[in-house]
Amino acid sequence: MGLECLPLEIFYHILSHLPLSSIYQLGATCRHFHAKIHQNESFWRFKVNHQNHLLFAVEGGEGPSSDLDLSFTPTGLIRDPSLLGYKELYLLCSHEFQEVLKGLRKAEVHREYLPRLLRSIVPKSWWNNLQSFYDPNFSVRCALFGPGIESPNTKYLVHKMIKSHTNLFDATGFVTGLPGGFGSGVQIDFRKMYQIHLICLYTNSERVRECQSGIQRLKAGNNMLIASETSEMPHESVLQLLPSLDCIFFALDTSKYEANLEEEAQFWKSELEIMLKGLKFCDKKNLPILVLSCSNGDEGRFSVSELAESLGLLTLPSRPWAVFNVNIANMDGMTKALDWVLYHAHKKKANLEYHQLNSTKSKAMKLEQIYVAAGCNRFLKCLSWRKDLLLYGSCNSVVLVKKLSKSDDFEVLKSFVAHSDDVRCVSWMTDDIFVSTSSDSTAIVWKRLADFSFVPWKILKGHASSVTACSGYQHESTLWIATASGDSSVKMWKIDLNMMKEDGEETSCQTIDLKSGFALEVKFHVLDGNVPLLVVARDNSKLQVYGRDPKGKVESNDLTLIHNLSGHDNWIVSLDLIQVQDDYLLASGSQDSFIRVWRLSPRTEAQAKMVQKSVKDSKDEEIKMKEEIVGMKCFSETKETKYFAIILETVLAGHEDKVQSVQWRPRFEDQSLTLLSCSMDKTVIVWTSSPDLGEIWEQSARFGEVGGNTLGFMGCQYDDNAEQILGYSFTGSFHYWANVNAEWKPFKTIGGHFGPVEDLDWERNGRYLVSTSLDQTTRLHAPYRVSNTSEAVSWHELARPQVHGYDLTCITMLPNHRFASGAEEKIVRTFETTRTFLANLRSISKETIQENENMVPRMALVPSLGLSNKGVNADENEGDSNSITYDVFETPPTEETLYQQTLWPEVYKLYGHGYEIFCLASNAQGTLIASACKASKAEHAEVILWSVDSWEIAQRLSGHDLTVTQMAFSPNDQYLLTVSRDRTWCLFGKSGETYTKIQRSKDKAVHQRLIWSCSWSEDSKFFATCSRDKKLAMWKLEEDKEVRVSLGCREVQSLQDSITAVAFAPNLEGGQKYVVACGLENGSIMLISFDPKADKEWNVVKHLGPNDAHHKTVKRLKFARHGDSIILASCSADHSVKLFKLIM
């Protein structure tokens, strides 16, 4: 077995022991390793996570930029997510890279060899600024102030740094400051590579003088003052010094305080505010601030998040800041702090500032999210509903949805990304806390920060495989969580809710080793107020009951196996427990299609002994259900043991396939017991047990999917009032029912693709959007309007025109509601609309339809023995046409209707390519379709032009050597632009009825890697190309005597990650300035303005991070005018389609 067959984690672990040069050599051996090493952020994230000096651990926390969500993650990286990737971060800050530089400097060969080495490693966009990385004279100028440098406990901070002569800190001399001596400081060699000029300032605060009793303070005449008693600005000498600084250090003594944080922080904050006013006065709005939480050997009393909040750091607009704990005794923590300072100093030196706008007009441009379509992951327990908020897992994110109370609609509010792999399970714990588990072997406890904003609070690490299930229960002020994993273990976690401000990683309080096999489901509960119970569903079809051993130690809260429950014949995948008066009912759903209900009844010790004796004395001939008595110890530190009798209450048979979910209905007074279940047999059943029926269970409701070829339900949930049910199926779609007049009726709901979305396109007039995905479906999204007003109420999926047998990869819209699509096959398929769809578009979206509806079929279906959608008219009485009714709706259709009744008929199949179709495009008039397939040779890299009128090949265009990745016709239809994996673009011009090649870019002239995407400006004067090398290039079309293309920008714009999608917005300001949207490989979306006449051509006007845009590769971006609005559509490998309204 070769390296290429190893799991990624093992492969990365092996690479972590190799030197940097060997890693680069391995990445150059073949495409496979090149993709794993150079094109995969996971490897460099792995490298960074194993470099301690690049991490915050508990001692650091950096404030995000204003565009990002507020999040305190203890393992957060020292990096600006909008600037650098993990690879660049590692190369910039790693010890290994610094040692290479250090060795070259000692050998005095850096002037010749070092630039070549750096150019082979760092991005090309940095080449012009490489001097900042190896300049021996490069120094960082910092000022240190704050009460911590004068406090008796921590005043030795400066002395330690000045007197240290180690490999890290070596005081080598003094630096001069301003005239009069102010600003003079000490020069420190850090890591034997960097010079840090440290200047100390002192305060004149009354509180500090009290701490300094017996010590004569420096007088005002020596100019070592930060502020006078009456002024709110720093001293004049300080104001003169600030413009020359690269960073400000603010030192605090957090080792001696026992009072609450608010009292101490008030004094700290007032001093910091004075300095901030001085920085603002000197126009140093982006100067980094480093807060040193100093102690004399003990841990800092306050957490990073507490300090940041109390000091007001969270409100600083776009200013970099960080908080680090520093131990004065051994200077532990200072190294990481200075690494952070050097990172920001390097960024400033290399002119890599934060993406900000210089013009007032640019700052006003915004992207407002108006629609999100994303399917649910196909895992059990991936949906949770509490009050009016829903959670579900979609790819690596947790999506938050609000159920609108005034309508039957749902609104996707936000997605939260913290996992690095698929989210497998989500569950509300309290109104403000939920838990998510993932295939990345972690579980995360999220806490509410604001109304609809949640941040990671506790990261539960310890499992060695995917965390497949979780269950929690709040007992008093403690949150108990049980997690199950594929590593054959169940872990218990104990979290103190009184420590809500203590963020960080959490270690489990108990690990239950299952030896062999694994747990499929867990349920944790506290019985009778203080008896912990854990039920584990094992892969041997048994339920294992865990509790505190009555014979165990009093002080131990560990759970031990006390009983096994048998009865199911297949895996048990769902559990739920409810209290009924003094008893408890446990429901278990199994893949044997049965549901079993177990009753747990409290017993006194005397009753327990009597039952145990009767069981021993009973004869084998007696046929009756026998009680099993179990004893469990309470939480309290006593020897009290409580007994429970466990007996099988009933077996529910009604499903015909695997039962995937069971949930008890929340009970209210005088209500009967109700159990909700769903199955892979495509049904949802409501089971009811009433005393009037003699405790007999019956099916009070049964509903779900009818027909189709779906695979049934994965889960379902009641709302808190048990009047609404939301289920999700194996295909990631949602199904919503509401109880109306004692009858369950289906209504519209959210939904989306359940696989990577590869392409999208707008209808020619911007009336709706179509998207295509590797989930083998094409979906149509349109607005839902209540009346004929121009403002859309909400966007929904209105049709599913194509359900295919191959993964769909590309799509292009044609006039008159037609489209062409390509898949992992060699043919292009074309489709046309139906009269039913046009009627629904008119009814639901209130669109005016001018096309002749009589020219298209009324409906489409797939014949019993056919594979292609066939158009059927009302007067045709052929077979299947009578089995399905096609209705016109006033509201968006339900999932059942979408899947069966909204197909479009297939018109033609276009044959001509030798390999799978990769991309499609159509011209503005809709008379031509351009198609390209996968190619490793020039003969297969041809572009085929198809005539829409005859559906025949109109022309073949040659120009590339490898796969054409994207094509775009100019808006005036005079040109066709193609980009390719061969790192070049080709421009074809129209001559009569044919196109001829005008120009091909030189290989590696601008783009060093494959070109992913291209786009034309609306006036056809410019086109943009973007590449894996992180470059965005603007090209100008010059039409004089002959047509030629030149680079239309003075400098190519370089971004922080590979650019995978680009799109021009409609012309703004009369075409004097252009706006381009760029989608990145990390999922971010950036709006960049381009003004060829301005001194600064490029300006980043908006940056949406992973929580606001996508968390995986952006596949396609497209603008459209929709009414009076401009809307940006995006799709991604994270399974989502999003619409953003551009606000000027």
**CB neighbour list of residue 1114: distance below 8 Å, 6 or more residues apart:** 1060, 1061, 1079, 1080, 1081, 1083, 1084, 1085, 1130, 1131, 1132
pLDDT of residue 555: 65
Q: Is the pLDDT of residue 626 over 80?
A: no
Averaged pLDDT, 221-247: 63
Q: Is the pLDDT of residue 587 over 90?
A: yes
498-512, 801-815, 937-951: which range is least confident on average? 498-512
- In angstroms, the CA 972 to CA 126 distance is 37
Q: Return the CA Rg of the chain.
A: 33
The 3 state secondary structure assigned to 657-700 is CCEEEEEECCCCCCCCEEEEEEECCCEEEEEEECHHHCCCEEEE
Most distant CA pair in the chain, distance: 109
| Predicted TM-score (pTM) of this structure | 0.70
Q: What percent of the chain stands above pLDDT 90?
A: 38
Averaged pLDDT, 607-617: 64
Quickly count: other Cβ atoms within 10 Å of residue 429's Cβ: 23
Q: Is the pLDDT of residue 209 over 50?
A: no
pLDDT of residue 791: 61
Q: Is the pLDDT of residue 73 over 50?
A: no
554-563, 583-592, 737-746, 1049-1058: which range is least confident on average? 554-563
pLDDT of residue 1128: 96
Hey, what are 429's tokens? 């714990």
Averaged pLDDT, 1020-1043: 89
Burial class of residue 981, CB neighbours in 10 A (0-12, 13-18, 19+): buried
Q: Is the pLDDT of residue 1018 over 70?
A: yes
Summarised one tens digit per residue, pLDDT across range 386-427 is 988 999 999 999 999 998 876 678 999 989 998 989 999 999
Backbone angles phi, psi at 605, to 5 degrees: -60, -40
- Is there a contact between 203 and 220 (Cβ–Cβ < 8 Å)? no
Position with higher pLDDT, 54 vs 992: 992
- In angstroms, the CA 73 to CA 64 distance is 11
Q: How confident is the model at residue 330 (pLDDT cuts 50, 70, 90)?
A: confident
73-82, 577-586, 752-761, 905-914: which range is least confident on average? 73-82
Highest mean pLDDT among 113-122, 259-268, 857-866: 857-866
pLDDT of residue 63: 33
Averaged pLDDT, 690-713: 75
pLDDT of residue 31: 73
pLDDT of residue 898: 87
Q: Is the pLDDT of residue 185 over 60?
A: yes
Strands of 423-428's sheet, edge to edge? 423-428, 433-438, 443-450, 453-460, 504-506
Q: How confident is the model at residue 616 (pLDDT cuts 50, 70, 90)?
A: low
pLDDT of residue 637: 63
pLDDT of residue 612: 60
- H helices within 253-303, ranges in order? 261-281
Q: Determine the 3-state secondary structure of 1051 from DSSP.
A: coil
Averaged pLDDT, 1032-1055: 85
pLDDT of residue 1022: 92
Summarised one tens digit per residue, pLDDT across range 809-831 is 999 999 999 999 999 999 999 99
**CB neighbour list of residue 804: distance below 8 Å, 6 or more residues apart:** 776, 777, 778, 821, 823
The 3 state secondary structure assigned to 23-84 is HHHHHCCCHHHHHHHCCCHHHHHHHHHCCHHHECCCCCCECCCCCCCCCCCCCCECCCCCCC
pLDDT of residue 877: 46
- In angstroms, the CA 628 to CA 646 distance is 5
The 3 state secondary structure assigned to 922-950 is ECCCCCEEEEEECCCCHHHCCEEEEECCC
Please identify which residue in the block is written with the tokens 């047999």.
681
Averaged pLDDT, 585-590: 94
Please identify which residue in the block is written with the tokens 């420590």.
499
**In whole numbers, what is the pLDDT of the chain averaged over residues?**
79
Q: Is the pLDDT of residue 164 over 50?
A: yes
Please identify which residue in the block is written with the tokens 């200047």.
199
- Distance between alpha carbon 87 and the CA centroid of its chain, in Å? 19
Q: Is the pLDDT of residue 956 over 90?
A: yes
Q: Is the pLDDT of residue 1043 over 60?
A: yes
User: Which amino acid, residue 1005?
Assistant: A
Position with higher pLDDT, 1136 vs 113: 1136
Position with higher pLDDT, 66 vs 398: 398
Burial class of residue 878, CB neighbours in 10 A (0-12, 13-18, 19+): exposed
The half-sphere exposure of 296 on its side-chain side, counting CA atoms within 13 A, is 12
Summarised one tens digit per residue, pLDDT across range 530-553 is 889 999 999 999 999 999 888 776
Summarised one tens digit per residue, pLDDT across range 276-325 is 888 888 878 778 888 888 877 655 456 676 777 788 887 776 678 888 88
pLDDT of residue 276: 85
Q: Is the pLDDT of residue 59 over 60?
A: no
Query: What are the structural domains, with CATH classification, of the chain?
Result: 94-133 (no CATH), 138-169+176-213+221-351 (3.40.50.300), 757-1143 (2.130.10.10)
pLDDT of residue 64: 30
**Closest-CA residue to 1075 (of 1065, 1084, 1085):** 1065
**Closest-CA residue to 1014 (of 1044, 988, 1040):** 988
292-301, 568-577, 586-595: which range is least confident on average? 292-301
Specify the DSSP class assigned to residue 215: S
- In angstroms, the CA 1025 to CA 1063 distance is 9
Position with higher pLDDT, 214 vs 256: 256
pLDDT of residue 110: 42
307-333: b (≥16 Cβ within 10 Å) or e: bbbbbebeebeebbbbbbbbbbeebeb
pLDDT of residue 87: 63
Q: Is the pLDDT of residue 211 over 50?
A: no
Q: Is the pLDDT of residue 668 over 70?
A: no
- Distances in Å between the Cα of 122 and the Cα atoms of 26, 84, 90 are 17, 11, 10
- In angstroms, the CA 718 to CA 379 distance is 18
Q: Is the pLDDT of residue 473 over 90?
A: yes
Q: How confident is the model at residue 500 (pLDDT cuts 50, 70, 90)?
A: low
Q: Is the pLDDT of residue 736 over 60?
A: yes
